[in-house]
Amino acid sequence: MLTKTLKKKKTLLKKKKKILTKIEKKQVKYDTVSFQQIFDFYIVSYLYSKRSTCPEIQFELYDFCSHLLNIARKAAHGELAHAWDGGSCGEDRYSLSKVNEKKAIKEWTYSPFSKNIPIIKKHLKIKSFNIKSVTDFKTIKRIFELVNWEESYGGPKWIEIIKCCINLEQAIESKNIKDMIVWADNYIDLCHNSDYVLAGFTKYSELFYSKWQKISIFYPNLKEVLDYKSRCKIEDLLVFSSKRVSVLYNRNKQ
């Protein structure tokens, strides 16, 4: 009886692991954008300028822009996390708590960032604050305007980034494809702290890398990818595009 129970438990654990692996893979898919997807976006944007009435082209653009907006929201949530830890302050407080919890609490009490949470709660009219519950970009923008920031976090630059997100969201809601292209392109180009805002949310496949090696000695990163896009013809991007977009291009290029 005991061995049967153990076998059942092991089987259940294996099933749970499989389910969790699937969830993690889906999470990675939705939390990142591939360089292939970015090239697809530029190709389809070009096609839209030639055949704006094609439903497939419109769908591709709508799908990419919606996905980009979800990533933009995740990026904003990541930056908002610094609203109460003050960047490195959070790490210091964590290491202190291991040594002396009272000292850690004292450090936090005197930190200027300790005032941020009550300000956010008061503005949102809530008792407890959870970043992920704040999904509205106008509210996120207001939080960036309200709280104190270190020089390298938040501040005016992130307010401008969120304004771009608001414009992109409005374009998606009104189904204005032309504006969607403008604001998605604008978001991809946005920088903060000497790097692209989107840089930490990009990925590439082994197939993409094998193709990339033929044109560059460097590993693909967002800067290299965007530099390549700016100096090459639209046909050159097809090498890196998905089969779906390649077919779409060949059907609508004229």
Alpha-carbon distances of 149 from 79, 80, 88, 137, 162, rounded to whole Å: 10, 10, 12, 19, 16
Q: What is the DSSP letter of 157?
A: H
Task: Please tell me the predicted confidence (pLDDT) of residue 87.
Answer: 40
Which tokens hold the place of 187? 């978001």
- According to the model, what pLDDT value does residue 9 have? 52
Q: What is the DSSP letter of 219?
A: P
Where do the domains of the chain lie?
35-252
- How many Cβ atoms sit within 10 Å of the Cβ of residue 135? 12
36-78 per-position pLDDT tens digit: 999 999 999 999 988 778 899 999 999 999 999 999 999 888 8
What type of residue is 37? Q
For residue 115, the model assigns a pLDDT of: 65
Instruction: Report how far Cα 234 is from the mean position of its chain's Cα atoms.
Output: 25
pLDDT of residue 7: 59
Report pLDDT for 122: 75
Please report the pLDDT score of residue 29 as a whole number. Answer: 47
Within 13 A of 190's CA, how many CA atoms are on the CB side? 23
Which residue ranges in the chain fall short of pLDDT 50?
A: 2, 16, 19-29, 86-112
Helix, strand, or coil (residue 191): strand
198 burial level (CB within 10 Å; 0-12, 13-18, 19+) = buried
The pLDDT, as a whole number, for residue 65 is: 95
State residue 8's pLDDT score. 58
Pairing of the two strands 202-203 and 33-34: parallel
Position 30 scores a pLDDT of: 56
